[in-house]
């Protein structure tokens, strides 16, 4: 059956899970996992800090942990339903699960690892599928090696191939690429994308790295303390002010909407104007649709403050403004600066004192081009 013939509903993953998590946090603070979402074919990111319950969600879907109550359905197959007492065994769910540790079988060769999930097939079909998947993940040359004798990136590919060769109905990826360098990571993701163009299964991709959210996300679900607190495209989720914890997770205290006014491809930069102001920002060149507004994220700790107009700077963005508020939190002073749009700046208390900052002080913000991150 080709992808086009499978009805969309058959590729849906519906999760509604309640489970008390023990062993997380300190003391008697046990966490109540209570999530409900539905995902369709393509990359869906489950984003959150460690201990938020991400892996537990995946384990419940795969059948490795049992929810206290809820319902899990893939397509028209009920995996779990606490009301009807349905629970399908993990081995019958046909879910591809890429573990954080990969869990390659150390005593088997690469070929044996990949073939492990194909024991119900005849030898002809088994070989065919194994060779096909190995080719598309560029690991055919490693067939006779053991997992301990191949590189980290190769191990990731083998683990991915092992999970995909069974043609799973859904794919669960638990921070699979955290340990890899950017180039290797991109290549593996490209291969995975190509595979899913053909098979179109729902992919639930767990990560706590914000770069991956931007690189992959059709959709991101933010999990915090066992609850989904935000759900949408990465930009929707990260720009909505009511989700302060989201912005914190994402690491960008400042997210401004800009329009691109000029591209300087020879310098590798673009000039953007912050919406509703005359303030322009020089940001790194990126392949975005320049006709549409872009969002630029700047971390509060990446912004310098000067009380007189700085001269002879390498930083390209110098923005005039004034202090709106100053608030001390632990060893950080959080300053709110109005430059036509408001910026949040983190300072040390010492810097704040020596600059004699107070509400109303006129100053200049200095931002390096590479401290401006295009989010779109």
Residue 141 has a CB neighbour count (10 Å cut-off) of 11
Q: Is residue 367 packed enough to be buried (19+ CB in 10 Å), middle (13-18) or exposed (0-12)? A: buried
Select the span of 76-84, 106-114, 136-144, 193-201 touching another protein (CB under 8 A).
106-114
Helix (H) or strand (E) holding 44, with range, is strand 42-47
DSSP assigned state of 265: T
* Helices marked H in the chain: 54-62, 110-115, 123-136, 152-164, 182-199, 210-216, 234-239, 244-250, 349-354
Residues in 188-227 that interact with another protein by CB under 8 A: none
Among 103, 182, 261, 324, binds another protein (CB under 8 A): 103
Q: Is 106 one of the binding residues for another protein (CB under 8 A)?
A: yes
| 90 in contact with another protein (CB under 8 A) | yes
Give the Cα separation of 142 and 271 in Å (integer): 47
Q: Considering only residues 26, 84, 91, 356, which one is a binding residue for another protein as defined by CB under 8 A? A: 91
CA-wise closest residue to 96 among 171, 157, 174, 206: 171
Smallest distance from another protein to CB 160, Å: 13
Report how far apart the first and last C-alpha atoms of the chain are (Å, whole number).
36
User: Rule CB under 8 A: is residue 2 a binding residue for another protein?
Assistant: no
The CB-of-112 to another protein minimum distance in angstroms stands at: 9
Q: Which of 37, 79, 80, 99 binds another protein (CB under 8 A)?
A: 99
Q: Which of 189, 297, 284 is nearest to 246 (CA)?
A: 297
The C-alpha atoms of residue 67 and residue 51 are separated, in whole angstroms, by 17
Min CB(24)–another protein separation in Å: 18
SS3 42: strand
| Site for another protein contains 111 (CB under 8 A) | no
Smallest gap from Cβ 282 to another protein, in A, equals 47
Window of 72-80, 101-109, 291-299, 329-337 that interacts with another protein by CB under 8 A: 101-109
Please report whether residue 23 would count as binding another protein according to CB under 8 A: no
Number of residues that bind another protein (CB under 8 A): 29
Closest CA to 162 of 189, 130, 140, 187: 130
Query: Is 101 an interacting residue with respect to another protein (CB under 8 A)?
Result: yes
Site for another protein in 133-162 (CB under 8 A): 146-148, 162
Pick 105 or 370: Cβ nearer another protein: 105
The residue ranges that bind another protein (CB under 8 A) are 62-64, 89-97, 99, 101, 103, 105-108, 116-117, 119-120, 146-148, 162-163, 166
């Amino acid at each position: 059956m080709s992808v086009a013939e499978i009805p969309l509903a058959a590729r849906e993953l519906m999760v509604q899970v309640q489970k008390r998590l023990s062993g997380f946090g300190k003391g008697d603070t046990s966490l109540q996992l209570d999530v409900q979402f539905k995902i369709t074919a393509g990359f869906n990111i489950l984003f959150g800090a460690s201990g938020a319950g991400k892996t537990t969600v995946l384990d419940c879907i795969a059948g490795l942990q049992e929810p206290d109550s809820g319902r899990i359905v893939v397509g028209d197959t009920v995996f779990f339903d606490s009301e009807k007492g349905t629970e399908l065994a993990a081995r019958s769910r046909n879910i591809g699960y890429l573990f954080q540790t990969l869990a390659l079988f150390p005593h088997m060769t690469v070929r044996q690892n990949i073939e492990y999930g194909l024991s119900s097939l005849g030898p002809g079909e088994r070989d065919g599928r194994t060779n096909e998947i190995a080719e598309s993940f560029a690991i055919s040359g490693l067939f006779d090696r053991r997992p301990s004798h191949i590189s980290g990136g190769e191990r990731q590919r083998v683990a991915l191939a092992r999970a995909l060769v069974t043609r799973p109905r859904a794919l669960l990826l638990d921070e699979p690429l955290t340990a890899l360098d950017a180039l290797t990571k991109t290549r593996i993701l490209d291969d995975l994308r190509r595979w899913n163009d053909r098979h179109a299964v729902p992919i639930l991709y767990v990560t706590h790295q914000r770069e991956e959210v931007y690189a992959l996300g059709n959709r991101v679900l933010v999990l915090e303390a066992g609850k989904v607190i935000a759900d949408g495209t990465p930009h929707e989720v990260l720009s909505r002010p009511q989700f302060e914890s989201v912005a914190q997770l994402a690491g960008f205290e400042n997210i401004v909407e800009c329009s691109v006014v000029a591209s300087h491809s020879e310098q590798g930069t673009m000039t953007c104007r912050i919406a509703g102001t005359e303030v322009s920002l020089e940001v790194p060149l990126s392949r975005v649709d320049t006709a549409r507004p872009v969002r630029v994220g700047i971390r509060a700790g990446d912004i310098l403050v000067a009380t007189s107009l700085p001269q002879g700077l390498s930083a390209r963005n110098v923005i005039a403004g004034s202090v709106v508020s100053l608030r001390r939190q632990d060893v950080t002073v959080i300053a709110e600066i109005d430059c036509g749009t408001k910026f949040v700046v983190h300072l040390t208390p010492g810097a704040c004192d020596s600059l004699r900052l107070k509400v109303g002080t006129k100053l200049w913000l200095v931002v390096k081009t590479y401290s401006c991150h295009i989010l779109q």
